[in-house]
Structure 1
Amino acid sequence: MSSRTQNFLVPIISIILGLIFGAIVMLISGYNPVAGYTALWNGIFGSSYNFGETVRTIIPYVFSGLAVAFAFRTGLFNIGVEGQLIMGWFAAAYVGFAWDLPTIIHLPVAILAAALVGAAWAFIPGILKARLGVHEVIVTIMMNYIALRSINPLIAAVTGGAERTPKVHESASLRSEFLQSLTDYSRMHWGFIIAIIGVFVMWFILEKTTLGYELKSVGFNRNASEYAGMNVKKNIVLSMVISGAFAGLAGAMEALGTFGNIASMSSFSGIGFDGIAVALLGANQPVGVFFAAVLFGSLKNGGINMPNEAGVPNEIVSIVIALIILFAASGYVIRLLLDRAGKSKKEVK
């Protein structure tokens, strides 16, 4: 069996196994898995409103998954996506409400501000890794907490002590009355188009540019890349910066689309951390990340309906997601079984 076929089958098998074992967990816990999964389906597609909310939930997962996957593909582990997202969220919200510009300028500037601030937040662990050899996992974890503890004073500083910023101006908003009318006034917004563009941008950078070739080369073997004349330190920093830009864009989707502002935070949003699982399930490939984000966003939004319709607690959804991640992380075992199945068929022939 070809590696391309295996790359396609492993995530699908992981999802199926996760759903099967999730059903077993429901049975053991005294819940009806058929009713539970029916409620999950209805929560995703049961109405135009639910569908709109599902799409809205998927959008930031696409960007957080791309952020993690981009760093993975270039040999780095960016666990700081959550912090970069928070700072990008703040930047987009601030530009959205504090500046007064025409729509054709205001919206792109607000989105760009989020990307730049996310990139700047990722630049710190990148430069420490490149210049001093400090492991990026340690620094990015700490940067997450710095972002979380810094955001509330920043909000208070720009609002005069309020716990949330004003709503962004219409000229900087991704919301659409047209999309809301189609989805029974859900919070679906135009960010889904930007997410699709983000998938294409990552694919184009990594597969069609010299920069992408160098970044991947450094990720595979830094010593060989340096021997070939590549600037390893520069590429490490660039990798983190681009990854941080994707994370910042995830924050922009929340600031300019879903919520229209940013409020004081006492805990992480979780989107950045879930991006690790999205990237893992998507095999760090742009298109794979997109479909993994669709799955995660659907499960997250659909799971909200399970307690109301089937009496199944939200924790069951978390268990199903965790099981899918477990099987995706155990992809080597699935690949081994697929190889053996392929060899058995050949022997029979």
Structure 2
Amino acid sequence: MTLPTEPIGSIPRPDYLLAGLADVAEGRIDRTAFDELVDRAVRDTVERFEATGSPVVTDGEQAKPSFATYPLDGVDGLAPDGVVIPFADGHTRTLPRLTQGPFRYGAHAADHLRAVRAITSAPVKQPVIAASALSLLYPADGIDGYPREQFLADLVDEAERDIRQCLDGGADSVQLDFTEGRLSLKLDPSGGVLRDFVALNNAVLDRFTDEERARIGVHTCPGGDQDSVHSLDIDYAELLPLLFTLRAGRFYLALAGEPDPERVLSAVSGHLSPGQRVFVGVTNPVDPRVETPEEVRDRVLLAARHIPVDQLGTCDDCGFSPFADDTSTSRDVAFAKVEARVRGTRLAAEQLGL
């Protein structure tokens, strides 16, 4: 396939892994037994990705409690009452709150990368959480003896390490999950928080070479959890001008769930720079209906009217289960959508003469 297509990240966990998550949390099984369940789920995930014809695979984030909080595994000094993220259907997610410094990751994405690379020869994409998301851990009233400036300096160091370990570990690409970008405009319509987020992420990206940044991408979406979203009502046009100032080589944009995708594509074309590739979302994980390959093809052809084909790719709008307890989408439906994306992208490539 000459038109690249990639997953975003999470795949719904199998029932036995969901049970294992509860069992290890309650002390009914030990960590070794749980790790065996994870290994089984990762192997099955990779095999099912490969069966769809996907040219790039991930581990489906099977071992992560959530896409955002995996670095906090084993970290001391956290309280449960941090920033609350409200979703359109009324449910919320709450981030932890940092209570002491210095801030250090307790786990790294490269740990997951090593496991999946051991069982496949396919290119592996590794999602990581953006520094901007983790900056929300720091409380508004500060921490005695640990000023925000020092926290951010420590955070940039840790985020760089997380990405660099993945690049050095053989990841085909590394994707920064930046769902908080669009959400920030809901929390602060002035755009000040978004500008701070972009500056922080660029402080991380500036530590990499041009060649390395070509393998680093940024994913943005309006959220996707329990078949609901947190910021679909925020106009993409408010996000895109700053989004494309991020010094990354790849951008993964949720698009299939947008009410007016052509309007978004028109805005993208006005901000895209040479050397940047845009992967447009062609399947919507919060919609239970499985798209047909022909629908995917038509979405790609629409995108190709606005984006040069040598700067175009496809993806899913977002992960299918970013939080481990989200069972709103079945594993079978997720892989059916992945297969539709792969087949539809191939059909579009053929029609485009690629």
TM-score above 0.5 = no
Larger Cα-atom Rg: 1
TM range, smaller chain: under 0.3
Q: Which has the higher contact order (CA 8 A, sep 6+)?
A: 1
Which is richer in helix? 1
Which is richer in strand? 2
Q: Tell me the TM-score normalized by structure 1.
A: 0.28
